[in-house]
Structure 1
Amino acid sequence: MTNLVLVILCLIIGILLQHVKDMPENAPKALNTYLIYIVLPALALMHIPNMDLNPHLLLPVISAWISFGLSWLIFGWLGRNFSWEKSTTGCLVIVSGLANTSFIGFPVIEALFGGEGLKIALLIDQAGSFIIVSSIAIIVASLFGHERKRKRDVTKKILTFPPFLFFILALVMNFFQMEFQGMPHEILESFAVTLTPVALISVGLQVKINASTLSYRYLWYGLGYKLILIPGFIFLVFRFLFDPNDLLYKVSVMEAAMAPMITGSVIAINHDLNPKLASLLVGIGIPLSFITLLAWYALLA
């Protein structure tokens, strides 16, 4: 419950800070730079080295990859055929394709399914969502950016992107069964816990909700996919692979139904992929998801 209250509080703080006269116009960009260069590398070094790649849990992990893959396929096709701006298409692919499987997902799953459900959620987040946002999402952001880039330039951008570099380092540590302990781990944890408050305040600084905002069709395309279409797809397809009463099945559906990932919006905003839309998908998607999550839970009961 504390985590959910913190999410809402940080969004409200960000919205209220819009009215502070001394607030610099580039404040969201500065906050996002801190997240990209400091917090995301810290998260990679904290979680990936001790990640347990258990084959038994492969299907729930795949659900996160399915979500992102279908997002890229569907919004990429729509963008090409209806001549959307590339920045809008890229924003929808990244932000709608990634679920908030950790900060929203963890407390919700633990409350609904207990410790055993939380273990499954942890793996979906670490081996699914976090790996995607640290690697594949950067490729998408580079491909859909405003500037036309050569393949060599895209590759360079990915290889010099701090979260990706530390993601590779963390994978190497995982392979050699190395991880940070003691003071180094505590320092990483201190930076990592700032992700949600800083990211959501940054989002709140950019959210402007009015009649025009609520009629913004791309917002509802993205939320329709994230909150209804993709959890519905996982709900139907995974019924053929699991017993409907299996905890793996229930957690997979609920994690797919979570609101858009905060970190995904940070990546989109940092690459100038329709920052307004990226902020709205998170700012409106998080409170709206509390309603849709109840509906999905009722269907699974």
Structure 2
Amino acid sequence: MTMGLVFHSIGVITLMIGIGVILSRTFNFNEDTRNAFISLITNVGMPCIILSSIFQVDIGGDLFGQIIFVFLVSIAINLAGIGLGYLFAVLFHKKVNRAKELAILSGLGNTGFIGIPLCAVLLGPEGALYAAMFDAGVDFTIWTVGALLLQQKKQVGLGMLRTMLNVPILSIVIGLTLAFFNLRPPYLLTDLFDRLAAIAAPLAMFYIGIMIMSLLRQPSAAGRLAGTRNTLWLPVTVKLVLLPVLAVLVGIGLSVDRLMLQILLIQAAMPTLTLSSILFAKYSADEEMGAFVTICSTAAALLTIPGMIYLMNLWVAGG
């Protein structure tokens, strides 16, 4: 992976977020517009990236094994990030009653909104497919371990299973099932998937830019940001620095190929998941802290992702 392509992709992402910042001045960002963006990204753009990637790659038995491997490694890396975040919160912020929230912000990244489109651009259809499976592992972790951590009364049941059955997950299952039986949709549909896949990255970046400005414009934004300043470094450091390094060590230890190693690094280096504030609101946790950590980690990731990829390239080349 050339650093020129990495910086180009991050530069494009930055400009898209900037366009979102400008767009935020042209309309009111309320619950309806927010839901419209999320619906288009998660129910149209991301599933089409996944299906487009599946039908562009020749999936055999070996690739199926690799896909399951990525899913399981993703869960392991996510749990390690949650564990590191919780440990650091207990050690360094004993007076802050937010260890569970900090743990989730440290371990779960924006592997869907940013990770899948970025891997598609940098690593092609096969990279996008692996990235989608890593994101499936994140979704699984969110609605199992994440939900259990935040629940006041621990409950495991069909409700948790229903929340995991979202459109991107279903598109993975349907796409892989068709590919396993060597079934391919007609060209009309594959062409549609290819075209709609292109909207995911721009919409996701526009949404992030709009969300950033809508939060910063709120009258109490400065006070809330100051209130989270003492804890902000913890999830940002764990998520953007320690977890990517751990992912590379795991990949090298398991002797994965270079493409797989790049996927593990990029997805582990993603900023805190955009849906953290939604998850926290659902379980009466600190929604505002989730939103501000998302903003700060997204801004920082524009610098740390190229840095981590550069260091990995030096490491692998030196090894």
- Cα gap change, 1:40/1:146 in structure 2, threshold over 3 Å: closer, same or farther? farther
- Cα gap change, 1:53/1:38 in structure 2, threshold over 3 Å: closer, same or farther? same
Q: CA RMSD in A?
A: 4.0
The DSSP-based 3-state class of the residue aligned with 1:216 is helix
Match of 1:156 among 159, 162, 178: 162
Aligned counterparts of 1:204 and 1:155: Cα–Cα separation in 2: 32
Tell whether 2:21 aligns with 1:15. Answer: yes
Structure 1 residue 195 displacement after superposition = 1.2
Match of 2:234 among 183, 203, 221: 221
Structure 1 residue 184 displacement after superposition = 0.7
Tell whether 2:107 aligns with 1:93. Answer: yes
Aligned counterparts of 2:184 and 2:143: Cα–Cα separation in 1: 25
Unaligned runs of 5+ in 2: 282-286
Structure 1 residue 284 displacement after superposition = 2.5
Q: Give runs of aligned pairs for residues 1-301 of structure 1, distance below 5 A.
A: 1=5, 3-18=9-24, 20=25, 22-26=27-31, 27-48=33-54, 51-52=59-60, 54=62, 61=70, 63-76=73-86, 83-84=97-98, 86-95=100-109, 101-105=115-119, 107-108=121-122, 121-122=127-128, 124-126=130-132, 128-140=133-145, 142-143=147-148, 150-152=155-157, 153-159=159-165, 161-207=166-212, 212=225, 216-242=229-255, 248=256, 250-258=258-266, 260-261=269-270, 265-271=273-279, 272=281, 274-301=290-317
Structure 1 residue 69 displacement after superposition = 3.0
Higher relative contact order (CA 8 A, sep 6+): 1
Structure 1 residue 197 displacement after superposition = 0.9
Structure 1 residue 266 displacement after superposition = 4.0
Structure 1 residue 198 displacement after superposition = 0.8
Structure 1 residue 174 displacement after superposition = 3.3
The question of whether the paired residues in 2 share the 8 Å contact of 1:11 and 1:203 is answered with: yes
- Over the matched positions of the two proteins, sequence identity in percent amounts to 13
Aligned counterparts of 1:238 and 1:90: Cα–Cα separation in 2: 22
- Cα gap change, 1:70/1:285 in structure 2, threshold over 3 Å: closer, same or farther? same
Letter in 2 for 1:70: A
Structure 1 residue 146 displacement after superposition = 6.7
Structure 1 residue 103 displacement after superposition = 3.4
- Cα gap change, 1:29/1:277 in structure 2, threshold over 3 Å: closer, same or farther? farther
The question of whether the paired residues in 1 share the 8 Å contact of 2:85 and 2:106 is answered with: yes
Letter in 1 for 2:104: G
Letter in 2 for 1:174: A
The question of whether the paired residues in 1 share the 8 Å contact of 2:48 and 2:196 is answered with: yes
- Cα gap change, 1:87/1:11 in structure 2, threshold over 3 Å: closer, same or farther? same
The question of whether the paired residues in 2 share the 8 Å contact of 1:98 and 1:261 is answered with: no
Structure 1 residue 88 displacement after superposition = 4.5
The question of whether the paired residues in 2 share the 8 Å contact of 1:121 and 1:255 is answered with: yes
Number of paired residues?
Answer: 284
Letter in 2 for 1:257: L
